[in-house]
Amino acid sequence: MAEPEKIAIAVNGNEQIVVAGCSVEDLLLELFPKIQRSENKSSNQFGAIAVELNSEIVPHSQFSQSVLKSGDSVEVVTLVGGG
C-alpha cells in the first residue's frame, strides 16, 4: 500500500510535515490536543481559538473544508493574559 503523500507547511512559525489533503480540522485534532479536550463552552467544537491560513482568517465553519497545500502558513491562536 502506497505511503500517503506528505507536505511541508508552517504552523505557528515552525515547519510541520502533514499528510497531503489534510484539512484545518485534521491539523487541529493532530497538533492541538488541548483544544480538542477543552470543555465545550461555546457553540463550536474548538473553543476559543482562531485559525489564520496564509494571512486570512478561516471561519470555524470552514475548518473541515479548508484543505492544506504544500507551503501553506497556518497560525493557530488563542487568548492569553495581557494589558
Partner 1 sequence: MPVEPPRTPAANSLDDQLELGPLQIGSQTIKSRLILGSGKYDSFETMRDSISASGTDCVTLAVRREKLNDSSARNILDFLDYQRLTLLPNTAGCYDAVTAVRCAKMGRAILEGLDNPGQHWVKLEVLGNSRTLLPDPFELLKATEILVSEGFDVLCYSNDDPVVARRLKDAGAAAVMPAGSPIGSGLGIANQNNQKIILAELKRDDPNYPVILDAGVGTASDAVIAMELGFDAVLLNSAVAHAEDPMKMSAAMRLAVIAGKLAFKAGRMPQAAYGSASSPELGVISSRKS
C-beta of 5 vs 39, nearer to partner 1 = 39
Q: List the grid coordinates of 83.
A: 494589558
Q: Is 26 in the site for partner 1 (CB under 8 A)?
A: no
Q: List the grid coordinates of 12.
A: 505557528
d(CA 35, CA 12): 15
Q: Is 67 in the site for partner 1 (CB under 8 A)?
A: no
Q: Is 43 in the site for partner 1 (CB under 8 A)?
A: yes
What is the binding site for partner 1 (CB under 8 A)? 11-14, 31-35, 37-39, 41-44, 46-52, 55, 57, 59-60, 75-83
